[in-house]
Amino acid sequence: MTKLECRQIFAMLSEYLDGELPPEMCDQIESHIHGCSPCVEFVKSLETTIRYCRRMALEHQPAPLPENLKAELLASYRKSCGLDS
């Protein structure tokens, strides 16, 4: 495979890992990846990154803002944008 093909594969890997590509495209990507060690390493790295990001998103959810603070922030935003009438 040429480097251009690897770049094309790299550009589609997120959609591939999220299951958003048609089956025939997944087959082409899998065929390329299995024969290309740089792509194998890149996929492993991307899978690890995705796993860590999903874990972090679940573990570090901020507490919801109190309603009075939400209202205050919204009023301040509207005022600063000239939307307060």
pTM over 0.85: no
The answer to whether residue 74 is domain-embedded is yes
Q: Could you tell me the residue range of the domain that residue 11 belongs to?
A: 3-80
Q: In the structure, what pLDDT confidence band is assigned to residue 2 with cuts at 50, 70 and 90?
A: low
Whether 85 maps to a domain, the answer reads no
In a domain, 50, yes or no: yes
Confirm whether 34 is domain-assigned: yes
| pLDDT digits 0-9 by tens, 8-59 | 888 888 888 888 999 998 998 888 888 889 888 888 888 898 888 888 766 6
39 inside domain: yes
CA-based nearest residue to 33, from 21, 45, 43: 43
Q: Does 43 map to a domain?
A: yes
Asked if residue 7 is part of any domain, the answer here is yes
CA distances from 2 to 5, 18, 37, 71, 76 (A): 5, 25, 13, 56, 54
